[in-house]
Amino acid sequence: ETGVTQTPRHLVMGMTNKKSLKCEQHLGHNAMYWYKQSAKKPLELMFVYSLEERVENNSVPSRFSPECPNSSHLFLHLHTLQPEDSALYLCASSQGAQGLGNTIYFGEGSWLTVV
Amino acid sequence: AQSVTQPDIHITVSEGASLELRCNYSYGATPYLFWYVQSPGQGLQLLLKYFSGDTLVQGIKGFEAEFKRSQSSFNLRKPSVHWSDAAEYFCAVGALTGGGNKLTFGTGTQLKVEL
């Protein structure tokens, strides 16, 4: 138990569906992240939120839409995805305001399969 | 921009044998370095981190890593591997971005332990 909870753990969706991934952190952190992990590729940072403001968007297609309603919750809204978007999506959090001296904690991930 | 290289994609060791996983980084300033472990179907768990001070850092599960600035390396070691150590290991270098901590990961090393 890392203090970062992701739901659902597994999701299968069609290319025309709309679904959302949810992340909740119980660590009192003020920065949250979405990473994408595909087979044989390094983890890719998708989005960074700090104090509920998006501070980084790493050229992610608009079919991925993040939302951070408060410092404890982060969503990734999915719409008209492609099969190549199938991957493990990892949420993470850290105490970003204190800089690099803080560890990033990861959730267990949501396995997404697009059919 | 920072980068991380893990030259070994797969490593197989016998249980009880020693282990060294290699990591080389590229970063223009003082690096903040991390090792994470990922068991099958799970998220990433922090093993250890280096920010400053003693270049030999101790982590959980009996792992240690040594920072060598002259070689731009941060290799992970364990004197005696247990079967439960079979997993994928990721080295990462940290940078501060917009209030959050951005990690750049290597492609990972898959460790297999033979009984």
Q: What is the pLDDT of residues B78-91, one digit of tens each?
A: 999 999 999 999 99
Predicted local confidence at residue A99, as pLDDT: 46
Read off φ and ψ for residue B62, nearest 5 degrees.
80, 10
Q: Do A42 and B106 touch (CB under 8 A)?
A: yes
pLDDT band of residue A98 (cuts 50, 70, 90) is: very low
Q: Do B99 and A41 touch (CB under 8 A)?
A: no
Among candidates A4, A43, A99 on the partner chain, residue whose Cβ is nearest the Cβ of B96: A99
**Is residue A83 a contact partner of residue A115, using CB atoms and an 8 Å limit?**
yes
Q: Could you tell me how many residues make up chain A?
A: 115
- The size of the A-B interface in CB pairs under 8 A is 78
Q: Is the pLDDT of residue B77 over 80?
A: yes
pLDDT band of residue A101 (cuts 50, 70, 90) is: low
pLDDT band of residue B2 (cuts 50, 70, 90) is: confident
If one counts every other C-beta atom within 10 angstroms of the C-beta of residue B8, the result is 14
Closest-CA residue in chain A for B106? A42
The residues in A 8-47 lying below 8 A from B, measured between CB atoms, are 30-31, 33, 40-43, 45
Test the A interface: residue of B10, B26, B102 with most A CBs within 10 Å: B102
Summarize pLDDT for A58-94 with one digit per residue, the tens. 789 999 999 999 999 999 999 999 999 999 999 999 8
Q: Is the pLDDT of residue A5 over 80?
A: yes
- Interface check A66 vs B, CB under 8 A: no
